[in-house]
């Protein structure tokens, strides 16, 4: 049963990645594209954790945590760059 | 593994997948940047919390050790999603909106992100009559 649920969750995360990719290419304004990138990072964290459940290993949590941190920092840096034209003032 | 644990883990995984899909579909479907900001920062965050809870429960029942890494990731995601949304909203407001087109704040002050820097020191928060220009946009 967990296998089917894992397949469903992975399919949902993958479809979400495709949707975010569409918004990333299409998005009319730069904040839309940054938001699509941030959501892609979130979906990738979900896929990583689901893969960790499937492989029955705890090694993926560090990767997911690093992904979360780099995603947040890159999003904030990009938004700050849009706001001020500079990242560290 | 117990059947109840399997049911709990499967339900958490299905719910998290559904919410992540809703968040990503809302990113496509919603019409405006400010409305589009709602979908990933709420629904996708909830979906991510669901899959992390499922992973935590699975590791507890399958391997016998309760790991706290997932809770750390969940806490981090839940803390950083509003900050991200705030930054993106500010970037959008300064990039595509003008201060006179925004809805009224209900006070005499403007939106805080459009104020001059010295106006932040003494904010004027007295109530004014609310203007109904929310429908004009």
ipTM: 0.87
Residue A46 lies in a domain: yes
pTM score, two decimals? 0.82
Q: Coil, helix or strand for B107?
A: strand
Rounded to the nearest 10 degrees, the angle between the axes of helix A60-84 and helix B69-96 is: 20
pLDDT class for B137, splitting at 50, 70, 90?
Answer: very low
- Say how far apart CA A27 and CA B116 lie, in whole Å: 31
Domain presence at residue A36: yes
Q: Name the A residues in 47-66 with CB < 8 Å from any B CB.
A: 49-50, 52-53, 56, 58, 61-62, 64-65
Measured distance CA(A82)–CA(A66) in Å, rounded: 24
In a domain, A89, yes or no: no
Whether B132 shows a pLDDT value over 80: the answer reads no
A14 and A52 in contact (C-beta within 8 Å)?
no
Number of neighbours of residue A38 by Cβ within 10 angstroms:
27
Closest residue of chain B to A25, computed from CA coordinates: B28
Total domains in chain A come to 1
Separation of alpha carbons B37 and B15, rounded Å = 21
| pLDDT, mean of residues B57-76 | 85
CATH number at residue A35: 1.10.287
The shortest C-alpha distance from A33 to chain B (Å) reads: 10
Contacts of A43 in chain B (CB under 8 A): 20, 24, 44
């Amino acid at each position: 049963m967990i296998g089917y649920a894992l397949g469903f969750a992975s399919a949902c995360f993958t479809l979400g990645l495709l949707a975010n990719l569409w918004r990333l290419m299409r998005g009319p304004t730069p904040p839309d594209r940054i938001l699509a990138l941030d959501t892609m990072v979130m979906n990738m964290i979900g896929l990583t954790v689901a893969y960790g459940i499937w492989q029955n290993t705890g090694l993926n949590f560090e990767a997911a945590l690093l992904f979360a941190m780099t995603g947040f920092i890159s999003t904030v840096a990009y938004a700050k760059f849009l706001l001020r034209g500079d990242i560290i003032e | 593994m117990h059947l109840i644990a399997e049911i709990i883990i499967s339900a958490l995984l299905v719910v998290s997948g559904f919410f992540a899909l809703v968040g990503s579909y809302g990113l496509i479907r919603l019409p405006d940047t400010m409305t589009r900001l709602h979908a990933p920062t709420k629904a996708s965050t909830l979906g991510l919390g669901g899959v992390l809870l499922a992973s935590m429960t699975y590791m507890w029942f399958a391997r016998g050790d309760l790991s706290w890494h997932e809770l750390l990731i969940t806490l981090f995601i839940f803390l950083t999603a509003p900050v991200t949304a705030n930054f993106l909203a500010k970037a959008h407001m300064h990039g595509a909106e003008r201060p006179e087109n925004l809805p009224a704040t209900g006070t005499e002050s403007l939106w805080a992100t459009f104020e001059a820097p010295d106006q932040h020191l003494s904010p004027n928060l007295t109530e004014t009559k609310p203007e109904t220009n929310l429908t004009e946009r």
